[in-house]
């Protein structure tokens, strides 16, 4: 007889395992879903407050909004301004929030809130996204300023070799304790060093632009934006702090607004101003999933998009393969006998809705009372179908009675006894009754106890938070459980419970060896 090759079977097993593990890892990588439950992520909650005095005319307030700042990613934003219309508009590549109202009078306050998470994601360089920038034309007030600017540039130019080093040398000149005459003249005309640095770099044909940054500090209020300078070095924009000489983006700096446009414009009002408050907090990582990468295929196929009621149903259904894995292992590998093949899974699911102790007690009471009633039904000589239907009705009455008794005793969890699979319990009672008549009470205790033990073991595994987290957020991992179930289905060796039959042989051999030694 030709032996059947098992290669296709093991190929299927390997593909199921690799497919489940690979898909789970890809979901973790692209959706940033953690493998451990309860993971928290740090979040910055930033609130911009706009205040101005309206003069009774139509009002339009426009605030520059951050757009993919380096090192951070926004996942939610909202505006609060009663009576105002709100929309986000994009002009010249700059996002701006726009509030409008037909008529307003007196002091007005508008709030804009957004949340940012730290990110190390690679960003597309602006060199790839836009055309190479050009230096802007610079006008100085008077020939004296123009001459002083040329002298300062000549001094810094001689000590530099590229755009970055030139910016550093200019900053040193203006932050030195002993400021030379030409630099002092320029600072007297323009006190903001950031504006002065931009002019000098653009005059040197090096593109430079202003940047408004917000330094993040926990529980800070009434903060203002800091004006910094970005210098184009031929490949990318490099940030400089003209007041300290610091180069690059600090970890606690959020680049809120880029470009020469004003951060706040208000028409129909006066004395406009904007201030910022911030707080550092942590939120569950799973709460951030829905707001991130909505176009990902994993997001489109995610269970989290279903209604809450259906999510709760799937959360329980996806635990069934874990219970099936436990049953297969205990029956095929361990060799434990149960009453019914997968009845322990349903009992374990019921335990998830109740507490374990009350669930076990309720199950034992229902089965015991059912066996007593089944003994009486056997005397009535009913047909099988009628007898099973009668048991189903009686089980319903038993469970209802236990639920009411539990409620009267203050055990509210007793009300959830109704989660027990009544039809399955009725069949279990019928089978145990027949088994009692044919094999005796010992076999009933073995199979009933085995079913209860398997149900408890399945419950203990299914109620683990990490198991519920993985099966719900990574449902493809059930392919691994499927592969293990199929793999155990090929096992034809001795069960662990059968090895005790060889103990007598071992003891006999040991006795013979002992006698021979004597």
Instruction: Map 111-154 to HEC letters.
Output: EEEEEEEECCCCCCCHHHHCCCCCCCCCCCCCHHHHHHHHHHHH
Mean pLDDT of 115-136: 62
pLDDT of residue 489: 87
> 31 lies in a domain?
no
Q: Which residues pair with 73 in a beta bridge?
A: 117
Percent of the chain scoring above 90 in pLDDT: 19
Residue 348 pLDDT: 85
Do 319 and 199 fall into the same domain?
Answer: no
Name residue 104's beta-bridge partners.
Answer: none
Q: Is residue 483 part of a domain?
A: no
Closest CA to 484 of 60, 16, 8: 16
Q: What is the pLDDT of residue 485?
A: 92
Domain count within the chain: 3
Find out whether 228 and 241 touch, Cβ atoms under 8 Å. yes
Residue reference for tokens 């060093």: 193
Instruction: Clarify whether residues 62 and 106 are in a common domain.
Output: yes
Q: Looking at 318-383, list the stretches that DSSP marks H as alpha helix, in order from N- to C-terminal side.
A: 320-328, 343-353, 356-378
Helix locations, 409-464, DSSP H:
422-439, 441-462
* Residues counted in the chain: 518
Q: CA 377, CA 379: separation in Å to the nearest integer?
A: 5
The answer to whether residues 476 and 27 touch, using CB atoms and an 8 Å cutoff, is: yes
Residue 171 inside a domain? The answer is yes
pLDDT range class, residue 505, cuts 50, 70, 90: low
Q: What strand order describes the sheet that includes 264-267?
A: 85-91, 94-101, 59-64, 264-267
| Tokens (6 digits) for 222 | 């009434």
Of 362, 333, 348, which is closest to residue 462 (Cα–Cα)? Answer: 348
In a domain, 160, yes or no: yes
Q: DSSP 3-state assignment of 337?
A: coil
H and E: helices and strands count for the chain: 17, 13
CA distance 1 to 88: 76
Does residue 44 sit within a domain?
Answer: yes
Query: What are the tokens at 426?
Result: 């009725």
For residue 148, the enclosing domain spans: 135-206
Quick count: other Cβ atoms within 10 Å of Cβ 200?
23
Check whether residue 321 and residue 176 sit in a common domain. Answer: no
Domain-embedded: residue 28: no
Cα–Cα distance measured from residue 373 to residue 396, given in angstroms and rounded to the nearest whole number: 13
Task: Say yes or no: 167 and 249 in one domain.
Answer: no
Q: What's the pLDDT band for 401 if we cut at 50, 70, 90? A: confident
Same domain flag for 220 and 183? no
Residues 268 and 382 in one domain: no
Q: How confident is the model at residue 124 (pLDDT cuts 50, 70, 90)?
A: very low
Q: Residue 36 contacts by C-beta under 8 Å, 6 or more apart in sequence?
A: 466, 469
Whether 65 and 259 have beta carbons less than 8 Å apart is answered as no
Instruction: Report residue 80: phi and psi, to 5°.
Output: -130, 110
What's the rounded Cα separation, in Å, for the pair 321 and 19? Answer: 17
What DSSP designation does 4 have? P
First and final CA of the chain: distance in angstroms? 52
State the pLDDT at residue 122.
43
Same domain, 200 and 213: no
| Residues 72 and 188 reside in one and the same domain | no
Distance (Å, rounded) from C-alpha 492 to C-alpha 174?
Answer: 85
Pairing of strands 269-284, 40-55: antiparallel
More confident residue, 347 or 481: 481
Are 364 and 451 contained in the same domain?
yes
* 93: Cβ contacts below 8 Å, ≥ 6 apart: 130
Given 473, 492, 509, which residue is the final one in a domain?
473
**Domain co-membership, 125 together with 267:** yes
Q: Is 254 left (phi over 0), alpha (psi -120 to 50) or beta?
A: beta
Bridge partner residues of 105 (DSSP): 55
As beta bridge partners, residue 116 has: 44, 74
Highest mean pLDDT among 58-62, 73-77, 278-282: 58-62
Regarding whether 143 and 77 lie in a shared domain, the answer is: no
Which is it for the CA torsion 429, 433, 438, 443, positive or negative? positive
Least confident residue range of 105-109, 145-149, 402-406: 402-406
Q: 468: number of CA atoms within 13 Å, CB side?
A: 16
Percentage of the chain modeled with pLDDT above 70: 88
For residue 109, the model assigns a pLDDT of: 93
Q: Looking at the domain assignment, is residue 84 inside a domain?
A: yes
Check residues 466 and 491 and name the one with the higher pLDDT: 466
Tell me: do 405 and 466 sit in the same domain. yes
Residue whose tokens read 């040991």: 510
Q: Which segment, 21-35, 44-58, 149-163, 338-352, is predicted with the most confidence on average?
A: 44-58
Crossing angle of helices 441-462 and 422-439, in 10° steps, is 150
CA distances, 95 to each of 63, 67, 220, 263 (Å): 9, 7, 25, 11
Residue 76 domain flag: yes
């Amino acid at each position: 007889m030709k032996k059947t090759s098992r290669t296709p079977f093991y190929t299927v097993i390997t593909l199921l395992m690799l497919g489940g593990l690979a898909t789970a890892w890809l979901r973790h990588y692209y959706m940033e879903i953690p493998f451990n439950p309860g993971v928290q992520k740090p979040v910055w909650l930033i609130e911009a407050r706009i205040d101005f005095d309206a003069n009774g005319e139509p009002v339009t307030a426009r605030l520059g909004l951050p757009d993919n700042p380096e090192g951070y990613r926004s996942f939610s934003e909202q505006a609060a301004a009663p009576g105002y219309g709100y929309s986000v508009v994009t002009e010249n590549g700059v996002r701006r929030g726009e509030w409008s109202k037909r008529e307003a009078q007196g002091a007005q306050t508008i709030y804009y809130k957004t949340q940012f998470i730290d990110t190390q994601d690679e960003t597309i360089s602006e060199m790839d996204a836009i055309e190479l920038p050009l230096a802007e034309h610079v006008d100085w007030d008077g020939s004296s300023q123009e001459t002083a600017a040329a002298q300062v540039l000549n001094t810094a130019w001689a000590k530099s070799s590229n755009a970055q080093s030139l910016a550093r040398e200019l900053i040193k000149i203006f932050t030195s304790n002993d400021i030379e005459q030409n630099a002092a003249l320029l600072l007297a005309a323009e006190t903001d060093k950031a504006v002065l640095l931009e002019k000098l770099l653009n005059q040197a044909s090096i593109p430079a632009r202003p940047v408004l940054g917000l330094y993040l500090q926990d529980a800070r209020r009434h903060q203002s934006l800091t004006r910094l300078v970005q210098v184009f070095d031929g490949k990318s924009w490099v940030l400089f702090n003209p007041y300290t000489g610091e180069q690059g983006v600090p970890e606690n700096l959020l680049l809120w607004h880029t470009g020469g446009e004003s951060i706040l414009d208000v028409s129909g009002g006066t004395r406009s101003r904007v201030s910022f408050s911030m707080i550092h907090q942590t939120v569950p990582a799973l709460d951030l999933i829905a707001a991130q990468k909505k176009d990902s295929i994993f997001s489109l196929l995610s269970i989290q998009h279903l209604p809450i009621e259906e999510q709760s149903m799937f959360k329980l259904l996806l635990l069934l393969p874990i219970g099936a894995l436990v049953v297969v292992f205990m029956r095929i590998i361990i060799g434990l006998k149960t009453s019914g093949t997968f009845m322990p899974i349903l009992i374990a699911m019921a335990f998830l809705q109740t507490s374990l102790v009350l669930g076990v007690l309720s199950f034992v009471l229902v089965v015991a009372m059912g066996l007593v009633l089944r003994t009486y039904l056997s005397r009535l000589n009913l047909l099988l179908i009628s007898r099973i239907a009668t048991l189903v009705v009686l089980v319903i009455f038993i469970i209802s009675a236990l639920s009411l008794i539990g409620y009267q005793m203050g055990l509210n969890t007793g009300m959830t006894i109704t989660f027990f699979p009544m039809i399955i319990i009725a069949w279990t009672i019928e089978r145990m009754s027949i088994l009692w008549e044919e094999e005796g009470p010992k076999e009933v205790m073995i199979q009933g106890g085995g079913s209860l033990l398997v149900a408890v073991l399945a419950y203990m595994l299914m109620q683990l938070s990490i198991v519920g987290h993985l099966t719900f957020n990574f449902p493809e991992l059930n392919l691994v459980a499927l592969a293990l179930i199929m793999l155990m289905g090929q096992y034809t060796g001795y069960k662990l419970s059968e090895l005790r039959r060889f103990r007598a042989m071992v003891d006999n051999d040991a006795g013979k060896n002992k006698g021979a030694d004597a």
